[in-house]
Copies of this chain bind each other. A is one copy, B any other.
Amino acid sequence: MTNFKAYLNHISLDCVIFGFHENQLKVLLLQMKYTKKWALPGGFVKKEESFEEAAERVLKERTGMDNIFLQQFHVFSDPKRSEMNPAVKDLEKSGSGEGLDWFSQRFISTGFYALVDFHKVDPAPDFFSDKCEWKALEEIDNLMMDHRQILDKALETLRLHLTYQPIGYNLLPKKFTMPELQKLYETILGKSLDRRNFQRKILSYKILNKLDERKKGGAYKAPYLYEFNLENYNKALKEGFSGSW
């Protein structure tokens, strides 16, 4: 309690930004300039910000978007996490930081996941990276530090939330088809679902409005379009789906 330095930490956050495109769940990643490793968009928290505000700022910078659905899910605080991977050295090489003293401090990161409409995102690299791209889950490899672990935890949390919350409004365009919504659920859950049972169940939640339009131009029979019933959707977000007790 007596020494300042003992409590000096680098407080950062990392965002797992999920988007849905071409029937695939994708994550927005940055490629680092020197090592070419991939990283989750993140940044340091300023002293006058809450973590949530900082996450909004990071998201705005990387995607150009405001008002994104954001959810804090875990703090990664292993004192060795910055050593776990030579990637910290990249930062050093890249000219940021103040030399060894800066890097000898520990790095603490809070994980957020974000759900966004793929088409509305305008990906922008940051100072340390030369690419900012969407990657489908299976394509993701060669992540820096413990970012694989952070990503996995985000997915795990998202799956869990799926069981008691509606999801989709932030990931899909305004109008969408039942097969699209199902595919979204399937990719998040990592398993396939029965088409007819899925429809019955999701409709029973009353969070969808069936439209009179059909989605033409696709292959074979044209599916109906749906939109979310925001009133019920938001109610469900707050109250959650039943829960088994």
Closest to A127 in B: B1
Residue A241 at the chain B interface, CB threshold 8 Å: yes
Interface residues of A (CB under 8 A from B): 1-2, 4, 6-11, 44-52, 72, 74-75, 77-79, 96-98, 106, 108, 110, 159-160, 162-164, 185, 189, 193, 201, 240-241, 243-245
Q: Which of B50, B108, B244 contacts A163 (CB 8 A)?
A: B244
Nearest CB on B from A78, distance (A): 5
Q: Which of B8, B74, B97, B164 contacts A1 (CB 8 A)?
A: B97
Closest to A44 in B: B7
Report yes or no: A10 in contact with B8, Cβ–Cβ below 8 A.
no
Closest 3 CB pairs of A and B: A51-B77, A163-B243, A50-B77
Nearest CB on B from A226, distance (A): 18
Closest to A110 in B: B75
A7 to B54 alpha-carbon distance, docked (Å)? 13
Report yes or no: B245 in contact with A185, Cβ–Cβ below 8 A.
yes
Closest to A81 in B: B50
Q: Which residues of B contact A162 (CB under 8 A)?
A: 243, 245
Report yes or no: B6 in contact with A7, Cβ–Cβ below 8 A.
no
A193 to B241 alpha-carbon distance, docked (Å)? 18
Ordered by A's residue number, 22 sampled pairs between the chains whose C-beta atoms are within 8 Å are: A1-B44, A2-B98, A7-B9, A7-B44, A7-B47, A8-B8, A8-B47, A9-B11, A9-B45, A11-B108, A48-B79, A50-B79, A51-B77, A51-B108, A77-B110, A162-B243, A163-B244, A164-B244, A185-B245, A189-B245, A201-B244, A241-B244
Report yes or no: B9 in contact with A47, Cβ–Cβ below 8 A.
yes
A38 to B230 alpha-carbon distance, docked (Å)? 41
Report yes or no: A47 in contact with B163, Cβ–Cβ below 8 A.
no
Report yes or no: B11 in contact with A10, Cβ–Cβ below 8 A.
no
Q: Given the known A-B contacts A189-B245, A245-B185, are A6 and B163 also in contact in the complex, defined by CB atoms under 8 Å?
A: no
